[in-house]
């Protein structure tokens, strides 16, 4: 049976005091049955790593470069993250795809760079509202994941996939459990065609997950937890979502 995984994506939020209080609140609410991680902004990663040392909560970054090193001002390599024992890195989040014009292939290359340094990439896929209304949801997410499958080859079982419908991120709208499960099933089928280990791979749902809808979402057969945005900034809400993944 696949373990549930709940990952908090803090995005560009937080400060040193707030981060300390948030992590203390999450830790105090545990331990959790599900695996739990937080992905913090780059400036706070070393402090988060120190605060979570020896704890049951893992940590990760929100992005990494596809390059190993070089003249890439403002970029952070997977090698740098690995020096701090980073466990996860989010790649291909819809905000990166939209605001930084990241292509499917670039996302795949970032996932490959992460794996080269033994960091688990959380690969995000998802459709816009216009694409859903045009009946293109399956085609879009399959195209996005296909680039990663092609690039990683036999290493594909080492990633985590996160389905995040763009229209449900930060909008308060949430895909119904049935809508989310339908897309997760499509992704599972695509992974099954790529690797015999697909049934062991975690596929997370992200998009306005809250304490009051988490349990219903996580009870779906192909939803293995969540990638949590706004609710991950409140210790009580995030802890409730982690408990819902039991």
Catalytically annotated residues: 93, 164
Q: Annotated binding residue at 207?
A: no
Asked if 181 contacts 222 with a C-beta cutoff of 8 angstroms, the reply is: yes
Asked if 42 contacts 70 with a C-beta cutoff of 8 angstroms, the reply is: no
Query: Kind and range of the H or E element at 59?
Result: strand 57-61
Residue 184 CA to residue 204 CA, distance in Å, equals 8
Show the tokens assigned to 228: 């949590």
Q: Annotated binding residue at 10?
A: yes
Question: 8-43: buried (b, 16+ CB within 10 Å) or exposed (e) per residue?
Answer: bbbbeebeeeebeebbeebbebeebebbbbbbbbee
Asked if 239 contacts 218 with a C-beta cutoff of 8 angstroms, the reply is: no
Q: What angle do CA 12, 13, 16 make, to 5 degrees?
A: 120
Query: Kind and range of the H or E element at 39?
Result: strand 35-39
Nearest residue to 55 via CA among 80, 38, 79: 38
Q: Annotated binding residue at 230?
A: yes
**What residues have CB less than 8 Å from 229, skipping those under 6 apart?**
9, 11, 169, 170, 206, 208
Query: Kind and range of the H or E element at 97?
Result: helix 94-99
Asked if 35 contacts 5 with a C-beta cutoff of 8 angstroms, the reply is: yes
Annotated binding site: 9-11, 170, 208, 229-230
């Amino acid at each position: 049976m696949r373990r549930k995984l709940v990952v908090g994506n803090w995005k560009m939020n937080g400060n040193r005091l707030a981060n300390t209080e948030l992590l203390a609140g999450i830790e105090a609410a545990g331990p959790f049955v599900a695996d739990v991680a937080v992905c913090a902004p780059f400036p706070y990663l070393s402090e988060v790593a120190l605060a979570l040392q020896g704890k049951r909560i893992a940590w990760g970054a929100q992005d990494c470069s596809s390059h190993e090193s070089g003249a890439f001002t403002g970029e952070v390599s997977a090698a740098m993250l690995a020096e701090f024992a980073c466990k996860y890195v989010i790649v291909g989040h819809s905000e990166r795809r939209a605001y930084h014009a990241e292509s499917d292939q670039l996302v795949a290359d970032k996932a490959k760079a992460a794996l080269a340094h033994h960091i688990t990439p959380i690969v995000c896929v998802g459709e816009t509202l216009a694409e859903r209304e045009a009946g293109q949801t399956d085609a879009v997410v399959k195209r996005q994941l296909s680039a990663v499958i092609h690039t990683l080859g036999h290493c594909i079982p080492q990633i985590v996939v996160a389905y995040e419908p763009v229209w449900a991120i930060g909008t308060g709208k949430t895909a119904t459990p049935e809508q989310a499960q339908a897309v997760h099933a499509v992704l599972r089928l695509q992974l099954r065609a790529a690797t015999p280990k697909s049934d062991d791979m975690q596929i997370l749902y992200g998009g306005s997950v809250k304490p009051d809808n988490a349990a219903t979402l996580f009870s779906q057969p192909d939803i293995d937890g969540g990638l949590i945005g706004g609710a991950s900034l409140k210790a009580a809400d995030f802890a409730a979502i982690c408990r819902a993944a039991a």
